[in-house]
Amino acid sequence: MEPTPLAINPSNPTFYNINLEGISVGNNTFQSNQNARNIIIDSGTTFTYIDPSMFNDIVTVVMQSSAIEVVQDPPNPFKFCGRFQGSSVDVPGFVFHFTGVLVSFPNENMYIVVDENLVNFQVEYDLQGNKISFAFADCTKSN
């Protein structure tokens, strides 16, 4: 497991925060314009919100490189929704650049349901060491 520093925001100490420096989609990397502690991560947080300009750039790349049909007027709170065309879809991979660690997400984590993007990952919260670690784990296989 590779760690990234954990920060607790003094103005809202009930959330665990980590720093997202950027996201790579295929061969394109987008840097975050936000300050440190820009992502809330915990087992009860459903959605991950990122810088709107970075989000828009990511959507553009995904639409250009994939066979995705854009769904008009997606349901709230989603800003983008798409349907795959055909039975075999070639989509770019996602790598999240956290401080000190790169986390590659399998395509099924990013393209099925956004709130399930940590499926098949073990996430270790080390509150004494102020760090969070990620390790890929296929939940369909026993140890």
Residue 31 inside a domain? The answer is yes
The overall average pLDDT reported for the chain is 75
Residue 141 inside a domain? The answer is no
CATH of the domain at 117: 2.40.70.10
Residue 44 inside a domain? The answer is yes
- pTM of the predicted protein model: 0.71
Number of domains comprising the chain = 1
Residue 12 inside a domain? The answer is yes
pLDDT tens-digit series, residues 17-50: 888 899 998 899 998 877 766 787 766 666 667 7
Percent of the chain with pLDDT over 70: 67
- pLDDT for the residue numbered 97: 92
Residue 143 inside a domain? The answer is no
Question: 3-state class of 46 per DSSP?
Answer: coil
> How many alpha carbons lie under 13 Å from residue 57 in its C-beta half-sphere?
17
- pLDDT for the residue numbered 45: 61
Residue ranges making up the domain that contains 67: 2-136
Distances in whole angstroms, Cα of residue 104 to Cα of each of 17, 43, 71, 80, 81: 19, 19, 26, 21, 22
pLDDT tens-digit series, residues 113-143: 444 445 556 777 788 888 878 777 665 565 5
Residue 142 inside a domain? The answer is no
Residue 56 inside a domain? The answer is yes
